[in-house]
Protein backbone atom coordinates (compact mmCIF):
# COMPACT_ATOMS: atom_id res chain seq x y z
CA UNK A 1 0.00 0.00 0.00
CA UNK A 2 1.36 3.39 -1.01
CA UNK A 3 0.93 4.98 2.44
CA UNK A 4 3.14 2.33 4.04
CA UNK A 5 5.71 2.83 1.28
CA UNK A 6 5.76 6.56 2.03
CA UNK A 7 6.12 5.92 5.77
CA UNK A 8 9.01 3.51 5.09
CA UNK A 9 10.67 6.11 2.85
CA UNK A 10 10.30 8.72 5.61
CA UNK A 11 11.93 6.36 8.15
CA UNK A 12 14.83 5.97 5.76
CA UNK A 13 15.08 9.68 4.99
CA UNK A 14 14.97 10.65 8.66
CA UNK A 15 17.51 7.96 9.55
CA UNK A 16 15.39 6.31 12.24
CA UNK A 17 15.09 2.55 12.85
CA UNK A 18 13.05 0.73 10.27
CA UNK A 19 9.52 0.10 11.57
CA UNK A 20 9.48 3.16 13.87
CA UNK A 21 6.50 4.55 11.92
CA UNK A 22 5.08 1.49 10.17
CA UNK A 23 4.80 -0.70 13.27
CA UNK A 24 2.73 1.99 14.93
CA UNK A 25 0.50 2.27 11.86
CA UNK A 26 -0.49 -1.40 11.78
CA UNK A 27 -3.34 -2.11 11.63
CA UNK A 28 -4.12 1.39 10.50
CA UNK A 29 -7.27 3.33 11.41
CA UNK A 30 -7.52 5.12 8.11
CA UNK A 31 -10.54 6.56 6.38
CA UNK A 32 -11.60 8.02 3.10
CA UNK A 33 -13.46 11.31 2.71
CA UNK A 34 -15.35 12.36 -0.39
CA UNK A 35 -15.78 16.14 -0.52
CA UNK A 36 -18.27 17.85 -2.74
CA UNK A 37 -18.50 21.63 -2.74
CA UNK A 38 -21.61 22.95 -4.48
CA UNK A 39 -21.49 25.75 -7.03
CA UNK A 40 -21.19 29.07 -5.21
CA UNK A 41 -21.32 32.80 -6.04
CA UNK A 42 -17.79 34.08 -6.69
CA UNK A 43 -18.65 37.11 -4.55
CA UNK A 44 -19.30 34.93 -1.52
CA UNK A 45 -15.81 33.42 -1.75
CA UNK A 46 -13.99 36.64 -2.56
CA UNK A 47 -15.66 38.64 0.22
CA UNK A 48 -14.97 35.81 2.66
CA UNK A 49 -18.64 35.41 3.61
CA UNK A 50 -18.25 31.74 2.62
CA UNK A 51 -15.24 29.43 2.44
CA UNK A 52 -15.04 26.00 0.89
CA UNK A 53 -12.75 24.81 3.70
CA UNK A 54 -11.22 27.06 6.31
CA UNK A 55 -7.49 26.77 7.03
CA UNK A 56 -6.72 23.60 8.96
CA UNK A 57 -4.27 20.76 9.38
CA UNK A 58 -5.39 17.18 8.87
CA UNK A 59 -5.50 14.63 11.66
CA UNK A 60 -3.58 11.41 11.09
CA UNK A 61 -0.12 10.72 9.70
CA UNK A 62 -0.32 11.59 6.03
CA UNK A 63 -3.18 12.52 3.70
CA UNK A 64 -3.34 11.57 0.04
CA UNK A 65 -5.60 13.93 -1.89
CA UNK A 66 -7.03 13.70 -5.39
CA UNK A 67 -8.93 16.65 -6.84
CA UNK A 68 -10.76 17.56 -10.00
CA UNK A 69 -9.66 20.38 -12.31
CA UNK A 70 -11.66 23.15 -10.62
CA UNK A 71 -8.84 24.15 -8.27
CA UNK A 72 -8.86 26.24 -5.11
CA UNK A 73 -6.70 24.09 -2.84
CA UNK A 74 -3.99 26.20 -1.22
CA UNK A 75 -1.21 25.53 1.30
CA UNK A 76 0.24 28.07 3.70
CA UNK A 77 3.79 29.10 2.83
CA UNK A 78 5.82 28.13 5.92
CA UNK A 79 8.24 30.98 5.24
CA UNK A 80 5.41 33.52 5.02
CA UNK A 81 2.75 32.69 7.59
CA UNK A 82 -0.68 33.87 6.42
CA UNK A 83 0.28 33.60 2.74
CA UNK A 84 -1.40 30.72 0.90
CA UNK A 85 -0.09 29.26 -2.35
CA UNK A 86 -2.29 27.43 -4.89
CA UNK A 87 -1.80 23.75 -5.70
CA UNK A 88 -1.89 23.02 -9.42
CA UNK A 89 -5.07 21.13 -10.38
CA UNK A 90 -4.38 20.60 -14.09
CA UNK A 91 -3.72 16.86 -13.77
CA UNK A 92 -6.50 15.06 -11.89
CA UNK A 93 -4.37 11.92 -11.46
CA UNK A 94 -1.77 13.81 -9.42
CA UNK A 95 -1.84 12.97 -5.73
CA UNK A 96 -1.20 15.70 -3.16
CA UNK A 97 0.71 14.26 -0.20
CA UNK A 98 0.26 16.16 3.00
CA UNK A 99 1.87 15.76 6.44
CA UNK A 100 -0.81 15.58 9.14
CA UNK A 101 -0.85 16.27 12.90
CA UNK A 102 0.06 12.88 14.33
CA UNK A 103 3.21 12.72 12.21
CA UNK A 104 4.16 16.17 13.47
CA UNK A 105 3.69 14.85 17.02
CA UNK A 106 5.62 11.62 16.41
CA UNK A 107 8.55 13.56 14.97
CA UNK A 108 8.42 16.10 17.82
CA UNK A 109 7.83 18.89 15.29
CA UNK A 110 10.60 17.92 12.84
CA UNK A 111 7.96 17.33 10.14
CA UNK A 112 5.29 20.01 10.30
CA UNK A 113 1.65 19.45 9.40
CA UNK A 114 0.66 21.44 6.31
CA UNK A 115 -1.95 24.17 6.85
CA UNK A 116 -4.35 24.20 3.91
CA UNK A 117 -7.70 25.56 2.79
CA UNK A 118 -9.94 25.63 -0.27
CA UNK A 119 -10.47 29.13 -1.58
CA UNK A 120 -11.41 30.86 -4.84
CA UNK A 121 -9.71 28.94 -7.67
CA UNK A 122 -6.66 30.87 -8.87
CA UNK A 123 -7.94 31.02 -12.46
CA UNK A 124 -11.14 32.72 -11.28
CA UNK A 125 -9.48 35.51 -9.40
CA UNK A 126 -9.34 37.43 -12.67
CA UNK A 127 -12.48 36.08 -14.33
CA UNK A 128 -15.83 37.71 -14.94
CA UNK A 129 -17.78 34.56 -14.17
CA UNK A 130 -20.13 35.14 -11.30
CA UNK A 131 -20.29 31.47 -10.27
CA UNK A 132 -17.54 29.17 -9.09
CA UNK A 133 -18.07 25.63 -10.36
CA UNK A 134 -18.76 22.73 -8.01
CA UNK A 135 -15.61 20.98 -6.81
CA UNK A 136 -14.91 17.39 -5.80
CA UNK A 137 -11.97 15.92 -3.96
CA UNK A 138 -11.13 12.59 -2.38
CA UNK A 139 -8.88 12.41 0.67
CA UNK A 140 -7.36 9.26 2.13
CA UNK A 141 -6.41 9.94 5.73
CA UNK A 142 -3.73 7.43 6.69
CA UNK A 143 -3.82 7.17 10.46
CA UNK A 144 -1.83 5.53 13.21
CA UNK A 145 -3.11 2.48 15.00
CA UNK A 146 -5.57 3.94 17.53
CA UNK A 147 -3.84 2.25 20.48
CA UNK A 148 -0.40 3.58 19.52
CA UNK A 149 0.98 6.66 21.21
CA UNK A 150 0.57 9.99 19.45
CA UNK A 151 3.38 11.43 21.56
CA UNK A 152 6.92 12.08 20.23
CA UNK A 153 9.04 9.02 19.45
CA UNK A 154 12.32 8.52 21.32
CA UNK A 155 14.33 9.08 18.12
CA UNK A 156 13.13 12.70 18.03
CA UNK A 157 13.74 13.66 21.65
CA UNK A 158 17.03 14.93 23.07
CA UNK A 159 18.05 17.01 26.05
CA UNK A 160 18.15 20.03 23.74
CA UNK A 161 14.83 19.09 22.18
CA UNK A 162 12.56 17.67 24.88
CA UNK A 163 9.01 16.47 24.14
CA UNK A 164 6.88 19.26 22.67
CA UNK A 165 3.70 17.19 22.66
CA UNK A 166 1.91 15.25 25.38
CA UNK A 167 1.51 11.47 25.68
CA UNK A 168 -1.90 10.46 24.45
CA UNK A 169 -3.09 7.55 22.28
CA UNK A 170 -3.70 8.20 18.58
CA UNK A 171 -7.39 7.41 19.06
CA UNK A 172 -7.77 9.81 22.01
CA UNK A 173 -5.98 12.49 20.04
CA UNK A 174 -8.27 11.96 17.04
CA UNK A 175 -11.36 12.13 19.26
CA UNK A 176 -10.05 15.31 20.87
CA UNK A 177 -9.44 16.92 17.46
CA UNK A 178 -12.81 15.79 16.09
CA UNK A 179 -14.65 17.22 19.07
CA UNK A 180 -13.04 20.63 18.41
CA UNK A 181 -13.43 20.51 14.63
CA UNK A 182 -17.00 19.29 14.61
CA UNK A 183 -18.33 20.91 17.80
CA UNK A 184 -21.92 22.07 17.23
O1 LIG B 1 -11.05 19.62 -1.12
C2 LIG B 1 -9.87 19.73 -0.81
O3 LIG B 1 -8.99 19.79 -1.64
C4 LIG B 1 -9.45 19.80 0.63
C5 LIG B 1 -10.09 18.78 1.50
C6 LIG B 1 -9.51 18.76 2.85
O7 LIG B 1 -8.64 19.52 3.18
C8 LIG B 1 -10.00 17.80 3.84
O9 LIG B 1 -10.98 17.09 3.56
O10 LIG B 1 -9.41 17.73 4.92
FE1 LIG C 1 -7.67 18.83 4.92
Is the pLDDT at 184 greater than 70, yes or no? no
pTM, two decimal places: 0.93
Predicted ipTM > 0.95: yes
Question: 142 C-alpha to center of ligand 1: Å?
Answer: 14
Residues 6+ apart with CB under 8 A from 177: 59, 101
Question: 37 C-alpha to center of ligand 1: Å?
Answer: 10
CA-based nearest residue to 118, from 164, 71, 166, 174: 71
Is the pLDDT at 150 greater than 90, yes or no? yes
Q: Which residues line ligand 1 (CB under 6 A)?
A: 33, 35, 53, 58, 65, 67, 73, 116, 118, 137, 139
Amino acid sequence: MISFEVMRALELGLGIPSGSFTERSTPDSSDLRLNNYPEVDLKELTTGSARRIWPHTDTGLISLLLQDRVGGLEFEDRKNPGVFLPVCSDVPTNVVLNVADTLERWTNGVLKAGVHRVNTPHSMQVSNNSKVAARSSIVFFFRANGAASAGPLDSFMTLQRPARYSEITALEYLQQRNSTLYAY
